[in-house]
Amino acid sequence: MNTITSLLEKIERAKELDFGNIFSESIELFKKTWLQGFLLQIFTLLVMMPLIIVLYLPLIGVVIAQQESGYANPDAFNEFFAGMSILYILFVFVGIFVLGAISLALNAAFFRMMKTLDYNGKVTTSDFFYFLKGKYLKKTFVLMLISILIAIPSALLCYIPLIYLMVPMSYFTIVFAFNSEFSVGDIVKSSFKLGNKKWLISFGLLVVSYVCVMIVTMITCGIGGLFLQMFIFHPLYLIYKKVVGFNETSAIEEIGTSVE
């Protein structure tokens, strides 16, 4: 188990990493985890489905009403959005926030499963729900709130700060996944330390991975994205593994871990 002090020291002493090695290792690791990545995509879609229905059902109603009337009213959508109540807008915002926190918990569980498979262990579907428990959910909600509070002002500043901050923020989930005993402040501090230390290689790997996933997704008419989207997580995992590392005992203990 890492303490915040030892983790920060490991990051400070981290050696240079090779871009090509990490990318090739990500491909090899992905061969072990692609099924779990696909299932994560399905679970995420199922979690998001209620919000999508609530958000788009009124819009579908407007379209149907126009079809039944036999003419198109260009002002219909403007009138619809103008008539939206503050309560409805608040409900959508809270829904996005809650589902975002749940998605963060699922992603954290996927990192733990990735580690288990990396060490040739076995995982079960129930492992996806490891962090969907009271003692962890509070931290996922706070981490989600911090992410929003960082992202919105950064986006308002012409997105330039967000381009830089997206790398440290990308480590929120993985640091939480392997150091869930840390306070939220320590998780954020460690993520920024790691992200700043390995910013260039992290950014490069994220961009290259994203481009590769998008190309395959377009070629396969979107179907490939369901299987490949989680590939983006693999370089981050390997950077964390090479910089911070895992305690061998805890690695063995977590093999085949299921919901407590």
What's the CA gap between 246 and 228, in Å, rounded? Answer: 26
pLDDT at position 218: 92
pLDDT at position 71: 53
pLDDT at position 204: 97
pLDDT at position 252: 39
Tell me the DSSP string of 201-251.
HHHHHHHHHHHHHHHHHHHTTTHHHHHHGGGGHHHHHHHHHHHT---HHHH
Phi and psi (nearest 5°) for 131? -95, 0
pLDDT at position 73: 57
Q: Work out the angle at residue 45's Cα, subtended by the Cα atoms of residues 185 and 221, and round it to the nearest 5 degrees.
A: 120
The ranges of the chain with pLDDT < 70 are 1, 57-85, 248-260
